[in-house]
């Protein structure tokens, strides 16, 4: 079973690279196993072209290594993933990307306004997790409050976190976050530099609960 999950982590990490959501060695991806509660996460500093199942670390919820078959380290952002799983019992997949349009909003400390209906895919909002230095517990703790409001948040001056019922679900949300960010940005350019208005929450409510 864990082997199937390792395969899935590798598959999604490679897709993120191929689809432009992550570049070089950035970004990290994890799955929580329903049966054991263990977390399977991508390694630090391994290029996606050579990433293989043996590089996926299996850790417990405190980050202790249970199994790691190759000579690599788990992602330097493991702490962020652990906080997401501790915080949300319903979460079984976590994506962290540096996708460009969404990260441009994160650099400005600006939420991506829900300007099109695709935003419902991740919970409409992208709250800002206050800046924390990469790799620190401070950064990990910054996502606690944002994840109470949405399945997506922006790490200030850094990137994007999405969570889901499995890794496919979290990845789809990461794709939608990037799409909405790109549309908001392009719309701003067309509109002469003014960010477009968000679709009102009542309208989302009416669509989601007709
Ligand atoms: Zn990062």
DSSP-H helix ranges across 38-136: 78-87, 100-108
**Confidence check: pLDDT of 138 > 90:** yes
77 labelled catalytic: yes
**Average pLDDT score over residue span 155-172:** 98
* Cα(182) to centroid(ligand 1), Å: 19
**Confidence check: pLDDT of 172 > 90:** yes
Write down the pLDDT at residue 164: 98
* Cα(205) to centroid(ligand 1), Å: 32
Number of structural domains found in the chain: 1
Q: Catalytic one among 53, 77, 156, 178?
A: 77
**Confidence check: pLDDT of 142 > 90:** yes
pLDDT digits (tens, 9 = 90+) for 18-66: 999 998 888 999 999 999 999 999 999 999 999 999 999 999 999 999 9
* Cα(192) to centroid(ligand 1), Å: 31
8 A C-beta contact, residue 194 and residue 141: no
* Cα(112) to centroid(ligand 1), Å: 18
Write down the pLDDT at residue 207: 87
Write down the pLDDT at residue 147: 98
Question: From residue 153, how far is each of 1, 2, 79 by CA, in Å?
Answer: 30, 28, 16
Write down the pLDDT at residue 25: 85
Domain with 62, as residue range(s), is: 2-208
Sign of torsion over alpha carbons 176, 97, 123, 169:
positive
**For residue 116, what is the domain's CATH number?**
3.40.225.10
Q: What is the mean pLDDT of the chain?
A: 96
Beta bridge partners of 95: 29, 162
Q: Where are the beta strands (DSSP E) in the chain?
A: 28-32, 39-41, 57-59, 65-67, 93-97, 128-129, 152-155, 159-164
Give pTM, 2 decimals.
0.96
């Amino acid at each position: 079973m864990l082997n199937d999950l390792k395969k899935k982590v590798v598959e999604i990490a490679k897709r993120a690279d191929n689809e432009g959501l992550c570049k070089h060695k950035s970004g990290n991806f994890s799955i929580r196993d329903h049966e054991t509660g263990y977390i399977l996460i991508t390694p630090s500093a391994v290029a996606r072209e050579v990433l293989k199942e043996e590089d996926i670390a299996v850790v417990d919820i405190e980050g202790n290594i249970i199994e790691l078959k190759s000579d690599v380290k788990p992602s330097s952002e493991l702490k962020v993933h652990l906080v997401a799983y501790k915080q949300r019992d319903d979460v079984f997949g976590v994506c962290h990307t540096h996708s460009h349009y969404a990260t441009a909003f994160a650099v400005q400390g600006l939420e991506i306004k829900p300007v099109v209906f695709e935003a419902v895919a991740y919970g409409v909002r992208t709250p800002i997790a206050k800046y924390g230095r990469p790799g620190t517990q401070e950064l990990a703790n910054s996502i606690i409050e944002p994840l109470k409001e949405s399945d997506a948040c922006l790490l200030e001056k850094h990137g994007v976190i999405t969570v889901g019922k499995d890794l496919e679900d979290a990845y789809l949300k990461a794709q939608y976050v990037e799409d909405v960010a790109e549309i908001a940005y392009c719309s701003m350019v067309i509109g002469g530099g003014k960010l477009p208005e968000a679709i009102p929450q009542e309208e989302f409510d009416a669509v989601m609960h007709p």
